[in-house]
Amino acid sequence: MSEATASHSSTQQILDELGIASENSGAFDGTWIDTQGELVHSVNPTTGEVIASVRQATAEDYEQVAAASSQAFREWRTWPAPKRGEVVRLLAEELRKHKAALSALVTLEMGKVLNEGEGEVQEMIDMADLAVGMSRQLYGLSMHSERPQHRMYEQWHPLGPVGIITAFNFPVAVWAWNSTVAAICGDSMIWKPSSQTPLTAVAVTNIAARVLERENAPAIFNLAVGDRHAVGGPLVADHRVPLISATGSVTMGRKIGTVVAERLGNSLLELGGNNGIVVTDDADLDLVLRAVLFAAVGTAGQRCTTTRRLFLQKGIAEEMKGRLIQAYGSVRIGDPMDPSTLMGPLVNQGAVDDMMNAIEVAKEQGGEVLYGGGKIDRPGFFVEPTLVAAKAHMPITCEETFAPILYIFEFEDLDEAIELHNSVPQGLSSAIFTLNMRSAERFLAATGSDCGIANVNIGTSGAEIGGAFGGEKETGGGREAGSDSWKIYMRRQTCTLNWGTELPLAQGVEFDI
């Protein structure tokens, strides 16, 4: 059997296990809808070949999905939260059974290396486990009333159907961040995945549907693959959907936020990142090298937490640049299904073009390419990871290019580095490498990093689910995953109970008839 035939056979086995046909419906409301929408092809970015196709939902299909989600919510909200948690626990078990196949599909469809694909599915499982614990901890507060014989407390109720809009770079994990927590909170969901990675969405929907069916649970995990006209626009504008959780570009977030705000709905926005690492003269440079390499090159620079800017104190700048150039030269680029590969392809040709354009603009603005900067002549969408020596306030360095470009700056003192670090409009993830306690605390202080995530002696990517994930400024201000992020998926109700025979008013107001 030839290598190509063996590879095709392996891919077919993955698709078969996950219930992926050559042509699939992209609309699910408890059952797969026989949609007549436009066919979208899922392309393997490693080869440029079509894996399989998905027929997108029409506007009529969306309406059917939305109506089913509303109906499912009305039942699901009556289930006790721990019982909802048990369903999510069983979802985690089902994901464990299919981890290998689903991880491989993430790699085939998105292009991240297999180890990262496995990590993404493990993140789904971990997120489900975390949500199970949350299902018994949806706490409210009790407060002392100023009125005698009154009791005052708050409680949390399910919010309603949640719209989940995900991006191609984490095609399944971000759904799990939202869906598992929303589920234990008593919400149903409408998932609009990226049309660049629809197969993973179909596969996950198949897995989740089996769990719901076995537990006689309502159809809370629903799907609508489609464009902004048939699905995206109607979903964002739908008054039946009180919360839209959207991951994507700043441009997309502005549009979504405006529409949702006009109908006085709620938005949870996870948008662009332009993440920086500050390295002081006293840093452990071995640690820096490993952290920067993964954070800048991992997922071919297509993480929202990818390190895009590196600030080196002048005492160690030349040494660090030399070590980075040598390390970049050793990065193994190729088939992401090969365990020895460290960097796979970009997602499509448009991403390659954007990267090449950004490099040319950087040169025009005074940047110097220290390593890489080119396309790799082979099938698929492969590029060289790139190092650029940058000048302060180069406009291109204030933009997020979703590709493995690392801009390197030099600085004299920490205050200068923090000011330059905070000068971009995005505010997602940040890090400092230092062995000086004062420098670390300075970076973490209110006058330090202005990002939603701030790390010391670890990189900007690979956040743990136990903490709330999200950023400030143009990153959107949303928070997902751990901590008390469950609160966005519920509505707060303040309750006051009078168990006496009088009717005193608050603030001493008297109103006697």
495 is catalytic: no
Residue with tokens 């993430």: 106
Mean pLDDT across the stretch 266-277?
97
Q: Is the dihedral of CA 94, 96, 97, 99 positive or negative?
A: positive
Catalytic residue among 120, 270, 410, 474: 270
Q: Look up residue 457 and give its two tokens.
A: 């002696």
> Which CATH code for domain 8-271?
3.40.605.10
* pLDDT average, residue stretch 174-195: 98
**The pLDDT of residue 256 is above 80:** yes
471 Rama sector, left if φ>0, alpha if ψ -120 to 50, beta otherwise: beta
Residue 446: CA count within 13 A, CB half-sphere: 0
Strand 368-371 relative to strand 386-389, pairing: antiparallel
Enumerate the H helices of 161-197 as residue ranges. 173-184
Residue-wise pLDDT tens digits, 310-349: 999 999 999 999 999 999 999 999 999 999 999 999 999 9
Asked if 208 and 240 count as a contact pair (C-beta separation under 8 A), the reply is no
Domain ranges for the chain: 8-271, 275-464
Reading the block at residue 243, the tokens are 């919360």
In this prediction, residues 39-52 reach a mean pLDDT of: 97
Each residue of 16-39: pLDDT tens digit?
999 999 999 999 999 999 999 999
Please tell me the predicted confidence (pLDDT) of residue 511.
85
CB atoms within 10 A of CB 499: 7
Active site includes 304? yes
Task: Note the Cα 182 to chain centre separation in Å.
Answer: 15
Would residue 264 be called left, alpha or beta, if left means φ above 0 and alpha means ψ between -120 and 50 degrees? left
Which of 408, 262, 256, 234 shows the shortest CA–CA distance to 322? 408
Average pLDDT of every residue of the chain: 96
Residue 339, both tokens: 């365990």
Give pTM, 2 decimals: 0.96
- Radius of gyration from C-alpha coordinates of the chain: 25
Residue of 109, 120, 304, 410 marked active site: 304
Task: Provide CATH code, domain 275-464.
Answer: 3.40.309.10
Q: Which residues pair with 142 in a beta bridge?
A: 153
pLDDT at residue 2 greater than cutoff 90: no
Nearest CA-CA partner of 120 in 84, 95, 93: 95
Rounded to whole angstroms, the Cα distance separating 202 from 485 reads 26
